[in-house]
Amino acid sequence: MKKNGLCVNPGKTEIIQWENGLYYCYAIKTKVITQKDALADIVSKYAKPFLKKGDILFLSEKMVACTQGRAIQLSSIIPGTFARILSKFVTKSKAGIGLAMPETMQCAIDECGLIRILLASAVGMFGKLCKKKGWFYRVAGYRAACIDGPCSYTIPPYNEYVVLAPAKPDHVAVSISKMLDGVAVLIVDVNDIGANILGSSKAIDTDRIIHLLRQNPLGQSVESTPMWILRASFRADPPVRIPDARST
């Protein structure tokens, strides 16, 4: 069930603790967003009515990228030889296909350059020998790490698309924050195994934010909740009790 346009996704927690503080986590359900939508209009319609002073608004990097036209139809991507070979060595995870298919690997090569991807692959292979994870993406960078390929749970029409990292995420965050009269805005890449902050409208406590993102309140399946409000708790402002989204 939704209340006042806000919801809590299945399996997620409404209230999270960080050190001595409590924070309320409210997801915002939207329509399926495409390149025909203007990001500012989507935020204004779905998020702005519920924001309060001191809130932090989180935007899914995939939502931002889609409004920028950075979703590419799978059938239009022609993988080269390097993409076909390198994709075979990528470990698949429960969080998504990543670069484990030739089409997404080709996008990584196009975004980051072949030399950088080859270097990242060599470093990543050495990391595996040392039983260390994540070395490939440390070298390849966020543009490679953010590439999303279609999975069984991807919402149509994006089950036939590859979505790239958003362009100029800091600039976008600042622009949206100005529209919201200074509410802090973060653009994040979050899944069920980790989180990364791509863009921010202001300086933030990164450790705190990453901790609060661990439960992935944006969801990882068909929730269609690409925005999330984080609200600090005050004793005089008790939480709004919202059943999870399975009741909608």
Give the tens place of pLDDT for each residue, 65-88: 999 999 999 999 999 999 999 999
Is the same domain home to 78 and 63? no
| Structure confidence at residue 234 (pLDDT) | 59
| Structure confidence at residue 236 (pLDDT) | 40
Tell me the mean pLDDT in the region 12-16. Answer: 85
Q: Which of 90, 125, 154 is the last residue of a domain?
A: 154
Non-local CB neighbours of 29 within 8 Å, separated by 6+ positions: 2, 5, 7, 46, 223, 224, 225, 245, 248
pLDDT reading at 211 higher than 90: no
Is the same domain home to 28 and 141? no
Both tokens assigned to 62: 């995939």
Give the tens place of pLDDT for each residue, 115-174: 999 999 999 999 888 888 889 999 999 999 999 988 877 888 898 999 999 999 999 999
What is the percent of the chain with per-residue pLDDT over 90, rounded to a whole number?
Answer: 54
pTM of the model: 0.86
In 3-state terms, what secondary structure has residue 215?
Answer: coil
Alpha helices in the chain (DSSP H): 39-46, 61-67, 81-87, 102-112, 114-129, 135-140, 142-145, 169-179, 206-213
Distance between CA 204 and CA 144 in Å, rounded?
Answer: 24
Is the same domain home to 218 and 177? yes
Is the same domain home to 208 and 141? no
What is the extent of the structural domain holding 136? 72-154
Distance between CA 6 and CA 227 in Å, rounded?
Answer: 10
In 3-state terms, what secondary structure has residue 121?
Answer: helix
| Structure confidence at residue 19 (pLDDT) | 77
Strand partners, 56: 184, 230
Q: Which of 154, 183, 210 is the last residue of a domain?
A: 154
Residue 160 in any domain: the answer is no
Is the same domain home to 144 and 35? no
Is the same domain home to 20 and 94? no
